[in-house]
Amino acid sequence: MNVPYVVIPIALGVICGILGYILGKVNSKNDNSLSTALQADLDVCKAHTRNLNARILKLEADLAVKTKATAPVVIPFEPGLAENALGKKIKENDLKIVEGIGPKIESLFVEAGIKTWQNLSQASTEKLQSILDAGGENYAMHNPSTWAKQALMAYQGKWKELKDWQDSLLGGKE
């Protein structure tokens, strides 16, 4: 048996293994720093987006105050009619009667100045979505496309129409 034919491949394998280990360690350090930098940039972008959404909401609220020249028409709430149509007691301006809105989303809207069915009915889908987006990932997944129309029906006392439409909705979506 010829010793160089055995020793040379073994030595070459050991050398390649050591070089591979060293290169792997060097590359893994670079990957972590890149990942960390990208995550930091993403966090900055998310914070900036939240700040911009908050500024948009404030500007919209300021605009709404400035453009209110006349007092809104008030439609009286009749709890008996609402209870008969929906089969449960309803409190005036309870945003949770809108299919897709629960207690947490209602509190987000109240904080943003949307406290009544009339306020909700006048809000654009984009504004409602920006409020949800500002609330975080758990709220951003909701679709508020039908909420203003449902709130308008409630505000106008169209309880039977609201009930029929909600029966056809799935989580507030058409």
At residue 31, the pLDDT reads 61
Instruction: Tell whether 174 is covered by a domain.
Output: no
Cα separation of 169 and 174, whole Å?
Answer: 5
Sign of the torsion angle spanned by Cα atoms 157, 94, 108, 173: negative
Distance in angstroms (rounded) separating the CA atoms of residues 116 and 156: 12
pTM over 0.85: no
Domain of 121, in residue numbers:
79-168
Kindly state whether residue 102 falls inside one of the protein's structural domains: yes
CA distance 11 to 14: 5
Q: Is 74 domain-assigned?
A: no
Asked whether residue 36 is domain-assigned, the answer is: no
Where the chain has pLDDT below 50, the residues are 172
Residue 52 included in any domain: no
Query: What's the structural domain count of the chain?
Result: 1
* 159 in a structural domain: yes
pLDDT at 62: 83
Enter the DSSP assignment of 95: G
Q: Look at residue 124 and tell me if it is in a domain.
A: yes
